[in-house]
Structure formats: C-alpha cells, structure tokens
C-alpha cells in the first residue's frame, strides 16, 4: 500500500475500494448490493449530519463517514462479537466523526435531539411494520430541508408499502437511486 498524503486522497482511495464491495454478503451481486447509488444520494443531497438506522458490516456507514461531517449509526451491535460486528469495528472504528448508538430503532432514537439531522437513512429491518415504525420515529429528527431516506425500495421487500404510506400522509417527491435507495425532502 502506498502512503496517503491527505484525507482527500484517502477518501478517493476508500470510495474506489467500497465501489467493489457487496453491501450484504448473502444477497446477489447486483447494483442493488453496491454503493454507487448511495454515493450519488450523498453527493446529490450534501448532508452534513447523518443518522443511519441499521449499519450491519459498516459499508454504508463508511460512505457516510467519508462524505459527511457527522454520522450517528444505530444498530443492535449485539454483545457477541459476530462477523458483521467485527467487520464494522475494523472498517469504521477509527473515524472521528462517527458515534455509535447501540440498540434497536425506534427505542434507540429516544434520546436524539429533534430536527438535528440533514439525512436519516433507514436500512434495518425490511418488513412493513419495522420500516413504518422507523420512518415515524425518525421523521421528527430530520431538520427542515433535510431528507428521510433508506435502502431496498424494491418489489422483494415491504419497504415500498411503508414509504408510500408515508408519502400519502406527509406528501413530498421521492428521489430514487440505482441501488434502490430513496429520499424524500422535509419541507
């Protein structure tokens, strides 16, 4: 490995490496399972502060850490050191702009300040009830002009049903990205 001179060079190097990785090892190797769409989402929306609900192996967390000023990652990070927790720690443990909140949403969100985040990104459970609860609990945490967003807006999950119900209630335009990420701006 060559010596990296600046954080900008490090960021470019890491993003190139992340583009080659699969987000989820047990999912097919498709655009849905890559970070190109997530990188485009972050570059398009330019959030400074991010709340990520569901971090798993930390691939999306690292994208946020590389491109955003402050990141809070909420995940159970179970007491046992399993493969994904160990990989998350190795991948993201040294980023100074990352804070971990151990727990499950929505309970883990209770102590976070309202309207504090430019972006809330939901990628935890994918069933209708869980996604609906995560959206409802995190919507007050999104700053005016910020975005609520997530992953897996696809026919093989129940995410579309929960997102559509959210849109029916609060309105807004949905932006879609190549990795099945989605975003809605808070007016």
Cα-trace Rg, the chain = 16
pTM: 0.92
Phi, psi for 133 (deg, rounded to 5): -65, -45
Write out the chain's pLDDT in tens, 187 residues.
Answer: 556 679 899 999 999 999 998 887 666 666 666 899 999 999 999 999 999 999 988 999 999 999 999 999 999 876 555 667 888 989 999 999 999 999 999 999 999 999 999 999 999 999 999 999 999 999 999 999 999 999 999 888 999 999 999 999 988 999 999 999 999 999 9
The pLDDT value given to residue 86? 85
The pLDDT value given to residue 158? 94
The pLDDT value given to residue 30? 66
Q: What CATH class has 7-185?
A: alpha beta
Q: In what order do the strands lie in the sheet with 70-75?
A: 98-102, 70-75, 49-53, 117-122, 142-150, 182-185, 174-176
The pLDDT value given to residue 182? 96
Distance CA 117, CA 47 (A): 8
The pLDDT value given to residue 91? 93
The pLDDT value given to residue 156? 85
| Extents of the domains making up the chain | 7-185
């Amino acid at each position: 490995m060559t010596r990296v001179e600046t954080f900008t060079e490090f960021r470019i190097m890491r993003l190139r490496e992340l583009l080659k990785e699969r987000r989820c090892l047990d999912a097919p190797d498709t655009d849905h399972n890559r970070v190109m769409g997530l990188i485009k989402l972050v570059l398009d929306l330019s959030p400074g502060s991010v709340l990520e609900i569901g971090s798993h192996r930390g691939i999306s967390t690292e994208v946020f850490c590389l491109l955003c000023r402050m990141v809070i990652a909420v995940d159970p990070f179970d007491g046992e050191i399993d493969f994904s927790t160990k990989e998350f720690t190795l991948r993201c443990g040294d980023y100074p702009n990352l804070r971990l909140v151990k727990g499950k949403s929505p309970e883990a969100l209770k102590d976070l300040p309202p309207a504090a985040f430019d972006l809330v990104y939901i990628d935890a459970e994918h069933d209708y009830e869980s996604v609906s609860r995560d959206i409802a609990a995190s919507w007050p945490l999104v700053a005016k002009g910020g975005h609520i967003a997530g992953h897996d807006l696809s026919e093989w999950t129940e995410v579309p049903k929960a997102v559509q119900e959210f849109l029916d209630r609060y309105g807004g335009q949905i932006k879609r990205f190549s990795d099945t990420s989605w975003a809605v701006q808070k007016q």
